[in-house]
Amino acid sequence: MRNQNKSTDRSKKPFGSDSRKSSGKTEKKPVKKGKENQDGESEKPSFKKKPFASGEKKSNPKFQFNREKKPKGDPLPSFSEDIRLNKYLSNAGICSRREADVLIQTGLVKVNGKPVTELGYKVKPGDIVNYDGGTVRAEKKRYVLLNKPKDFITTMDDPMDRKTVMTLVAKACKERIYPVGRLDRNTTGLLLFTNDGDLAKKLTHPRYEVRKLYHVETVEPVTYEQVNTLLSGVELEDGGFVKADKVEILKDSKNREIGIEIHSGKYRVVRRMFEALGHAVKRLDRVSFAGLTKKDLPRGNYRHLTEEEVNYLKML
């Protein structure tokens, strides 16, 4: 009987019942107990305000720093604008980076009036660079897009005196610009020129997988089975393996015109892919490069990229 009473008492929950009020006992909270005011009512607990939360920094000297303030209008240095001296000379069109290293080591280059022989020295914004008695000024970055015609080779000069793409952009700017990648002599379409070496490396490096879209015309019809082979990958004559990102046979072309998108930067890669399938390419045209298109750009003409296009390429 005694045990039964115990179990009955335990089944009663202390919370949610009125028996607690009738006992006359008040519940004591273990933490954050409020103080009673003159009326006997409990006040809300007061917490000590942190200095940064309340703005009272002077109440906590621990967080006060003796820091020297810079005058207004004196910006912090931008280290991102520093550039290696050999690259600075190369960008200015003086010579290549390797040749610039030789000039630096021989003491022929001065920065702010003092000879610099240290390889890897960085030029800061505002520094004055001198070489051969004159002041070297970094060239303005130029970005020129050409719609290349047939029978022009992609090279700076040709000992056989053939037509080069450089003659087509000779009047585009006074700065010396270079082609980004190559298009062979019989291939037409988009070709980018720039003196921005960093961007040129980025657009040609396999890591960034820059997309190129080509319009291919073959002598014989292409089968859908061969389209699937291009997508799954083909082995080239040199042992290399490459596959297309997208392939589509164009309508009303009797299966002789194909659109193919790739990101490989290998030389003559599209022609070699079709040759691996036993197809001779009659006509090859690059219609898109890194998102740039031939819209409003006639064959043989060029234009300068807009600021938005340049920013887009740098964000790839």
Could you give the residue numbers annotated as active site?
A: 184
Residue 100 to residues 127, 146, 196, 280, Cα–Cα distance (Å): 17, 30, 17, 45
Separation of alpha carbons 133 and 218, rounded Å: 58
Count, residues in the chain: 316
Strand partners, 178: 194
Give the helix/strand (H/E) hosting 103.
Answer: helix 97-105
Residue 65 to residues 59, 129, 173, Cα–Cα distance (Å): 13, 40, 53
Torsions phi, psi for 121 (to 5 deg): -60, 140
Give the helix/strand (H/E) hosting 65.
Answer: none
Query: Are the C-beta atoms of 211 and 245 separated by less than 8 Å?
Result: yes
The DSSP secondary structure of 170-238, one letter per residue, reads TTS-SS--EESS---TT-EEEEEEES-HHHHHHHH-GGG---EEEEEEESSPPPHHHHHHHHH-EE-TT
